[in-house]
Structure 1
C-alpha cells in the first residue's frame, strides 16, 4: 500500500497542473450542475415495519393522498384586534380561500368557522388546504405558493403563517456565514502552525475543493434519491474538518523532510507513502463508522450516514492527489510568505518533553486521566432524549410563530396531533355505527387526550380515521406515552394504528434503542479490524477502539450539561418555547433527538480514530527503528503532538462556528463534536493513550505467528519507503515486517 501511494503521490507531483485542472473542473462542474438543476431534499421519516408507517399506508390507500403525509397544507390565521368571525375578516379569509382554490392540485379549502378550525377565543383559526396529485417532494414550494395566495387576508390586517406541513421552506437547512467563520479560524490556526501563509493556504484550498465537489455530487443525487435536508450541512461540517486535517498531516511531514534536505519530489513521494497511508486508513474508519448506520433500521439515518461519507471520500482523494500536485507545483516556495516569530519546528515544541514526562509516571497519569474523563462523562447519565418540535426553532422563523399561535389558540398538543386509523373487520354504512362510536369513545377516554375530531369513514366502509389531540406538546415525553396507550386499545372488530409526527418519532426512538447495541458493536469491531490490518498488533487495535469510546462519554456529558441540564442552552443560541405564563426562562432544557446520539457516535468514532492512527503511526515508526517501546511512545507523542493539536483546533473551530446555525440539530452536533474532539486530542491522546502504551510495553506490538501469517502486509506506516535501512529487530521478534 505504501509503495502504491508513493507512486501515486510522485505521479501527481510531476503532473501538478493536470491534477489541479481535473479537480477544479470536477468541483466547478458538480457544484454548477447542482446550482442549475437544483438540490432537492426529502424529509421522509418513514420507518418500514412500524405502526406509524402502517397507519400512513392505510391512510393513503383508504382515504387518498390528501390525508397522507404531505397531502395537507395548513395556514394559521391570527386576528390581533378581534374575533375572526367579524364580517370583514370573514370576507378577507374567503377571498384568500378563493385565490388558493385556483392553485394547481388544490382539492379542498376549509376556512375557520364555528364548525371547526377556530380557537375558543375566536382569534386563531386554521385554513386547511387538501392537495391531490401533487409531488410530496415539492411540498416546500407548494406551501410557499399557498401562503402567498393568502395575501388578501394579510391585507385585511390578519397575520397568516404556514404551519409545519412536513418540509416547509423555512425548515430547510441553508448555508450561512458559519462556513466562512470556520475557514477563517482554521486559516489562523494553520498560520500559527506553519508560520507561512503559503503553507497555510494549501489545506484550505484543498478542503474547499473537496467540499465543493462533495456538495455538488450530493445535490445531484437528490434528483434520484431521497437526500435528507441535513445532508448538505453535515457534509460541509465534516468535509471541512477532515479535509483540512488530512492535508495538514501531509504538509507537516513534507515540510519536515524538506528541512532535512530531501529533494522536493522525493519528499512528496515519501510523504504520500507514509502519511498518505495513515490518511487512507483514517478516512476508512470514518466511512466504516458512517456506513454502519445502515444497521440502525432508520432509512433517514442510514442515508444521512453514507451521504455524509461522500465528503470524507472526497477529502481522502484530494489529500492523496491534489495535495501532492500543489506541493509539486510550489516546490520550495511552500515556505514563502513567512510570518515573523511563527513556525517553529515541531521538534522544538514541548510535546516531546510531555511524552517523556508521561513515560516516567504512567500509573499516575493513567489514574488522573480516568478521573478527569469520568467527571466529563458523568452528566451523560441524565441525558434527555426526545423529539424536537417547532417550539425550539429560531424565534423569528415562520414555523416557530405558527407553533406558538397554535399552542396559544388550541393547546400545545395541536402542534402534534395523532392520526388514528382503524381497520374494521366488517363493513359499516356510516360513522354512527356502534363500533365507530365505541372507537371514538375509547380514544377520548385515554389519559392525555384533550379532544378527538369527528370520525371519517372511507368509501369502502372498512377504515375509520380520527384525529386525537394530546394535552402535551410534541417534544413532551408524555406524548409518546399517549401514543402507546392509544395503540394498546382493545376494541372488538377493530385494529388500531396510530400515525402522525409524534407517533413516527416515537417509533424512531424505539427502533434506535433496539438497534443501538448492534451498530456500536459493528463499528467497534470493524474499526478494530482496520487497525489490526494497519498495525498488525491486536492489543493496539482493541485498545484504540475502546479509547475512542471514552471520548464519546465526554461528548455526551457535554451535551447533557448544555441541553439536558440547560446550563448552556442560551449560550448556544437556543430560545425557549413560551410556557403557560408567557415567561421565557434563562436556564431551560432542550430534548435531544433520539437518532442524534447514534449519528454522533458514528461520526465521533471515525474522527477520533484519525488522531489514533496518526499517533500510532509515529510510535510504530520509532519502535521499528530502535525497538524501545517507552522511548518510541515519547518520540511518537513529541513528533505528532503539535500537529494533532493544530488539527484538533481546526476541527473544534469549524464545529463551534456551526453552532451559530439556527437549526437545533446543527447546534447539537456542533456542541457534541467540538467537545469530543477537544477532549480526545488533549487528555486522551496526550495522556491516556501514551500512559497505557508505556504500561503495556512490548506487548503493544505482539502478534501471534498464525495471525501474522494471515494478515496482509499493508504497511500503513510506510517504513520501507525510507532511505535508511531498518536496524536489527529485538532479540525475540514480536512482529514480522
Structure 2
C-alpha cells in the first residue's frame, strides 16, 4: 500500500501522457516522409486540420447565410494564438459536385503533438456557430487527436463482477471470492502507475497501458485463485493457518511463478519482431504480469496470515478436489462425468473437436492486416468518424486514403521537370486512381511532390496494391531517368507497418512453438505430450484468428459484437495473440497434465491418471478460464475498435484453448496414446533438468518430516 501511494504521488507530479500513434522507423513510407520534411521544412513544422461541413437539406454551401456562418466560424477559430490561417471551402474551391459538402483548412504554427488541449477545446466550442445554423460541422484532425482512447469503466466493472460470481461459486464464500480481486487490483494499481512513470521518459502508446491492465487484472485474479485454492485444501487436511500458507506458497506459489514466467516470456518475445511500439507493449504487459506474480507470492500470504481464519476449508466432493492422489474415492466410478464421457469415446470426441476448430480456422487464410482508420475504429458518436463519412459521401471512398509520392531526382538536368511531369502522367493512368494533383517542386529542385487520391478506401486491398504498383514502377524510373518514386502518407505508412508485422509473424510463431515444446519436454519428461500440447496451441491460434477474420474482416455478426464497421484485422493483433495465448495455454496445460503425470508416476495406470487429472485440476482450470474470459469480455465491450478486437481475440482464444483443447482434446488424445504418451529416451531423461512446477519435492520433504 505504501508503494502504491508513493507511485501515485510521483505520477500526479510528473503528469505523464500517452500517444495514439503506431509508427515504425525506416519503413519506405517513413523514409519518404522524412525526405519531404527536410525538403519542405516550413510546411513540416506546421500542422493542419480539416473542418468538414455539410449544408442543411435543400440548401448549398454557396448560400449567403452559409458563407456568413463559415466566415464567423473561421474568424472565431483564428483568435487562437497558435492558428496561422483558416481558409474556407469556397476559397479552397473544394466544394463537391452539388455544392453541399466542403471542408475548411486550419493551419497551426506548431506541430500536431504541440497543439494544446485549450486550443482543441476552443475549436470544439466554436463549431456551435455553424451547427446552430443547421450546418453539420465535423473535424478531421489528422495527427491532431480529438477523441482519445479511454477506459469505459462500467464494462470492466461488469467483467470483474462476473469474475466475483465465478470465485464465489468456486470457493463457496464471498470473503474468499473478494480476496483475489482485491489482490489483483492492488497489483494492477502498482503496475499501471509504474508504467505511467515510464511513459514520462519513453514515448509509449496508449494501447500499451490498456493491454497491461487487461492482462494484469486477469492473471492477478487467477494466480490468487490458485494459491487460495491450495490454502483451503491444506486447511481441510487439518493444517494450521500458518502451515497451510507455507504449503500453499511452496506448491501453488511455485506453479504461479512458473506460469507467470511463461506469459512474460511470450510477451517479451514480441521484441523479436524488432518493432519499437510492439516491443514496448510487450514490456508494459510483462511488467503487469511480474507485479501480479510478486503480489501473489508476497502480499497474498501476508493477508492470509491476517484473515485466513475467516476462510473455510475446502469441502470434499464439491467444486474443489485434493491435489494429492490420496483421496479414497479415486476410482473410475467416482471420477467426474465429463472425464468419463471424453475417455469413453476418445476418437469421436477428438475428431469432432478438431474438426470444429479446423472449420473456424478456414477464414484465417484470407486474413488482411491493417491499422484502423477513422471509418473503422471510431463510432458515429465521434466527430472524426462523422467527418470521415461526410468526406466519403462528398468525394468518394478514396478521399480518406490520400497518398503522397515524392519523386527524388538523383541527377538534375534541364529536362528533369518535363521528365517528372511525364512520369506523373503515367502514374495518373494507373488503375484505381481518382485524381492526381499538379507537381509541387521542392526548393532544391531534387524533390517533386505529387498528391494522389485513390478510388478505394484506406482499408481496401486495392489501395495497398496501388502503393505496391507505384513502388514497383520506381525500379523502371530509376533505371531510365535516375528518378526514385517514394510513396508516403498516413495510408502508406499504415500499409508498411502492417506488412512488417505480417513478415514478422512466421518467425515469431516458430520461435514460440519451439520454445513451448522444449519447455514442456523438460516439465513433463515426455516427447509426445509436449507435441500434443503445441499442436493444440496451433489449433487454438488458428481458430481464434479465423474467428476474428470471420467477424471483423468479413463482417459477420459485427452488429452483435458492436464493431463500428468491417475492417482489416488489427495489424499487431496476431502477434499479441500468439504471445499472450502461448503463456495462458501453457499454464492450462501444465496445471492439467502435471496432475496426470503425478498419478501416472505413482500408479503406472495412464487411464486412471487422465481421470484424476481432469477431476482434480479441471475445476481450477475451468474457474481460471472463466475469470479470464469475464475480464476480457469486459474490455471487449469498449466502444474503441482496437480495445474491442484485443479483448475479443483473448476472450475467445481462452475459451477455445481451455474448454475445447485442454479439457476435451487433451484427455481424449491422451487416452488414445495410453502409456506411450509418457515415452522419453533414457539418455534424454538423464540430461534434462528437473523442473518441479507444483512443488512436489517440497511436499515430499514435508511428508518425510
TM-score (normalizing by structure 1): 0.86
Gaps of 5+ in 2: 323-328
Gaps of 5+ in 1: 1-23, 577-588, 728-737
Aligned pair partner of 2:355 in 354, 371, 383: 371
Cα–Cα, structure 1 residues 131 and 114, in superposed 2: closer, same or farther, change >3 Å?
A: closer
Distance in 2 (CA, whole Å) between partners of 1:637 and 1:596 is 32
- Corresponding position of 2:380: 395
Cα–Cα, structure 1 residues 92 and 549, in superposed 2: closer, same or farther, change >3 Å?
A: same
2:449 aligned with 1:465: yes
Distance in 1 (CA, whole Å) between partners of 2:260 and 2:226 is 13
Cα–Cα, structure 1 residues 132 and 341, in superposed 2: closer, same or farther, change >3 Å?
A: farther
2:186 aligned with 1:209: yes
- Corresponding position of 2:50: 74
Distance in 2 (CA, whole Å) between partners of 1:480 and 1:173 is 30
Correspondences of 1:21-60 after superposition (within 5 Å): 24-31=1-8, 33-35=10-12, 37-60=14-37
Distance in 2 (CA, whole Å) between partners of 1:367 and 1:342 is 31
- Corresponding position of 2:563: 574
- Corresponding position of 1:477: 461
* Greater Cα shift, 379-388 or 442-451: 379-388
Distance in 2 (CA, whole Å) between partners of 1:53 and 1:88 is 43
After TM superposition, give the deviation of residue 141 of structure 1 in Å.
6.7
- Corresponding position of 1:411: 396
Report if aligned partners of 1:195, 1:342 keep a CA contact under 8 Å in 2.
no
Report if aligned partners of 2:95, 2:101 keep a CA contact under 8 Å in 1.
yes
Report if aligned partners of 2:112, 2:144 keep a CA contact under 8 Å in 1.
no
Distance in 2 (CA, whole Å) between partners of 1:159 and 1:409 is 13
SS of the aligned residue for 1:717 comes to: coil
After TM superposition, give the deviation of residue 723 of structure 1 in Å.
5.0
Distance in 1 (CA, whole Å) between partners of 2:75 and 2:452 is 29
Distance in 1 (CA, whole Å) between partners of 2:335 and 2:42 is 63
Cα–Cα, structure 1 residues 87 and 425, in superposed 2: closer, same or farther, change >3 Å?
A: farther
After TM superposition, give the deviation of residue 709 of structure 1 in Å.
4.7
2:420 aligned with 1:422: no
* Greater Cα shift, 709-718 or 283-292: 709-718
Distance in 2 (CA, whole Å) between partners of 1:365 and 1:558 is 21
After TM superposition, give the deviation of residue 72 of structure 1 in Å.
2.5
- Corresponding position of 1:294: 271
Distance in 2 (CA, whole Å) between partners of 1:140 and 1:467 is 30
- Corresponding position of 1:626: 603
RMSD: 3.1
Cα–Cα, structure 1 residues 140 and 446, in superposed 2: closer, same or farther, change >3 Å?
A: farther
- Corresponding position of 2:439: 455
Distance in 2 (CA, whole Å) between partners of 1:428 and 1:405 is 44
Aligned pair partner of 1:506 in 495, 498, 504: 495
Report if aligned partners of 1:32, 1:216 keep a CA contact under 8 Å in 2.
no
Distance in 2 (CA, whole Å) between partners of 1:343 and 1:116 is 75
SS of the aligned residue for 1:47 comes to: coil
Distance in 2 (CA, whole Å) between partners of 1:115 and 1:660 is 41
* Greater Cα shift, 95-104 or 305-314: 95-104
Aligned pair partner of 1:546 in 525, 531, 535: 535
* Greater Cα shift, 170-179 or 444-453: 170-179
- Corresponding position of 1:324: 301
Distance in 2 (CA, whole Å) between partners of 1:649 and 1:726 is 34
Distance in 2 (CA, whole Å) between partners of 1:54 and 1:103 is 33
Aligned pair partner of 2:418 in 431, 434, 453: 434
Distance in 2 (CA, whole Å) between partners of 1:476 and 1:437 is 28
Correspondences of 1:143-182 after superposition (within 5 Å): 143-148=120-125, 152-154=129-131, 157-166=134-143, 168-182=145-159
SS of the aligned residue for 2:96 comes to: coil
SS of the aligned residue for 2:421 comes to: helix
State the number of aligned residues: 688
Report if aligned partners of 1:66, 1:131 keep a CA contact under 8 Å in 2.
no
After TM superposition, give the deviation of residue 209 of structure 1 in Å.
1.2
Runs of 4 or more consecutive aligned structure 1 residues displaced over 6 Å after TM superposition: 340-343, 347-351, 724-727
Aligned pair partner of 1:251 in 228, 248, 253: 228
After TM superposition, give the deviation of residue 371 of structure 1 in Å.
2.8
Deviations 1:277-334 (A, max 9, x none): 2212222221222222222243332322222222222221222122212211112212
After TM superposition, give the deviation of residue 457 of structure 1 in Å.
2.2
Cα–Cα, structure 1 residues 240 and 167, in superposed 2: closer, same or farther, change >3 Å?
A: farther
Distance in 1 (CA, whole Å) between partners of 2:484 and 2:548 is 40
Report if aligned partners of 1:383, 1:559 keep a CA contact under 8 Å in 2.
no
2:490 aligned with 1:515: no
SS of the aligned residue for 1:170 comes to: coil
After TM superposition, give the deviation of residue 681 of structure 1 in Å.
1.7
* Greater Cα shift, 114-123 or 285-294: 114-123
- Corresponding position of 1:683: 660
- Corresponding position of 1:242: 219
SS of the aligned residue for 1:346 comes to: coil
SS of the aligned residue for 1:113 comes to: helix
After TM superposition, give the deviation of residue 54 of structure 1 in Å.
1.1
SS of the aligned residue for 1:128 comes to: strand
- Corresponding position of 2:325: none
Distance in 2 (CA, whole Å) between partners of 1:598 and 1:377 is 16
After TM superposition, give the deviation of residue 499 of structure 1 in Å.
0.8
Deviations 1:145-170 (A, max 9, x none): 54445555456554332204135131
Distance in 1 (CA, whole Å) between partners of 2:570 and 2:688 is 41
- Corresponding position of 1:276: 253
Correspondences of 1:557-706 after superposition (within 5 Å): 557-576=546-565, 589-706=566-683
Distance in 2 (CA, whole Å) between partners of 1:164 and 1:312 is 36
